[in-house]
Amino acid sequence: MVYYYAHGKDWHDADAQGFDGPGWYFWDETESQCYGPYETKELAELKLQEYAEWLNTGRQTTMIYSSEQVKSFRQATAKNSHIEHLCDSHEELRKERDYLLERVRVLVLEKATVRETVKE
């Protein structure tokens, strides 16, 4: 389950538990650490699913990281996730633009054909 948090006042000790600004978050299996922020609910759900799959691999390390290292990793991950999401959105917009330009071209040709027909 993912949650939207606008500010760290939503729970006690938010910064220590991973709050890093407004956005969508999910909690780890112990509900002691949150991951995010993610720009959309869908992206947070995808990251939660990836996290759950990773948990099921049994490849977790026993290394202990400082809260600053964890925060730095989270920021890099969230930043890259937004970039990937924006790239996907950009590609979708490009396809829509190409489709609309083709439709305009066809409509202009049809209008020109109608004008020629009316003149005759």
Provide the CA 51 distance to its chain's centre, in angstroms. Answer: 15
- pLDDT in tens for each of the 120 residues of the chain? 777 777 656 566 666 667 777 888 888 888 778 888 888 999 999 999 988 888 888 776 655 666 777 777 777 776 666 566 566 676 777 888 888 888 888 787 777 776 666 666
pLDDT of residue 104: 82
Which residues are CB-contacts of 25 (< 8 A; sequence separation ≥ 6)?
2, 3, 4, 5, 18, 19, 34, 35, 36, 37, 38, 44
* Closest among 51, 19, 80, 13 to 4, alpha carbons compared: 19
pLDDT of residue 46: 92
- Is there a contact between 25 and 77 (Cβ–Cβ < 8 Å)? no
**Which DSSP symbol is given to 37?**
E
- Largest CA-CA distance found in the chain, in angstroms, rounded: 83
Q: Residue 99 corresponds to which amino acid?
A: Y
